[in-house]
Amino acid sequence: MLSSTILGYITFAYFASFILYLLMMVMGRDFLGRLATYVTFAGLTIQTFAIILRWVESYRLGIGHAPLSNLYESLIFFAWTIIFLYMIIELRTKTRTLGAFVTPLAFLALAYASFSPGMETHIQPLIPALKSNWLIAHVITCFFGYAAFGLSLALSIMYLIKRLENDQSKSIFLKLIPRPGILDELNYQMVIIGFLMLALGIITGAVWAHSAWGSYWTWDPKETWSLITWLVYASVIHSRMVRGWKGKKISILCIIGFCCVLFTYFGVNYLAGLHSYAK
């Protein structure tokens, strides 16, 4: 389908963005950063068009639904939310160094979606459990939460790398990374956003589950690991607000949290449960 072809090409656009951001940090050339921003924004714009086109294509096939129903479509949307949030941060902070750590996440998500053997890229009819108006609300809130946690991961890695810098360091790469205090504050903001969005995702999912299966909560593997992930990030917020943790400890907790996100997203697909359709 045309939308799938376009999305396949966007994979290379985000890879090009990553290379340009990385070269900017290694060589210290600002024009490379500006070029990376243009390529990333162009990729986001074209990906938005491709998602809308896929939505239109589903109606042309007589099975119209939002392109959020299977693993392929969720990976596409995951990449979109990551880049969308990143572009907002770049516009707000006027710094491009985060792009070198964020664009690989979008590239890997799209590469897995577009080029993984056995990945179903064709538009398919919704199974009965997915035919609900709660689909869009549930998926959007969950994946904006995942995207915010992805940005938190990138900021945590940047913080740990920045700690390697000392007075004798001459690395342009390290000098271009923002100060630890800025990274720590941005990281905390992303955790708050992700925590709230995931909470909304769990709530909308519970309401959806009640309408589809007659129960708000069934301890399905996806539900259980979503709750575990939410509790991990709740501990991050608690540690910051109550215990005063900052910097390295929070960064390590955020990395652990994103590992939980990945298992919630991918790992539970190999466990039997009501969300097994995600395979």
Q: What is the pLDDT of residue 212?
A: 72
Q: What is the pLDDT of residue 167?
A: 67
d(C-alpha 279, C-alpha 268), whole Å: 9
Q: What is the pLDDT along the chain (279 residues), one digit of tens a residue?
A: 788 899 999 999 999 999 999 999 998 889 999 999 999 999 999 999 999 999 999 888 888 888 888 889 999 999 999 999 999 999 999 889 999 999 999 999 999 998 888 788 888 887 776 777 788 898 999 999 999 999 999 999 999 999 887 767 678 888 888 999 999 999 999 999 999 999 999 999 888 888 777 788 788 888 888 999 999 999 999 999 988 888 899 999 999 999 999 998 887 766 555 555 444
Q: Look up the pTM and report it.
A: 0.91
d(C-alpha 29, C-alpha 25), whole Å: 8
The full set of domain ranges for the chain reads 2-278
Burial of residue 176 (number of CB atoms within 10 Å: 0-12, 13-18, 19+): middle
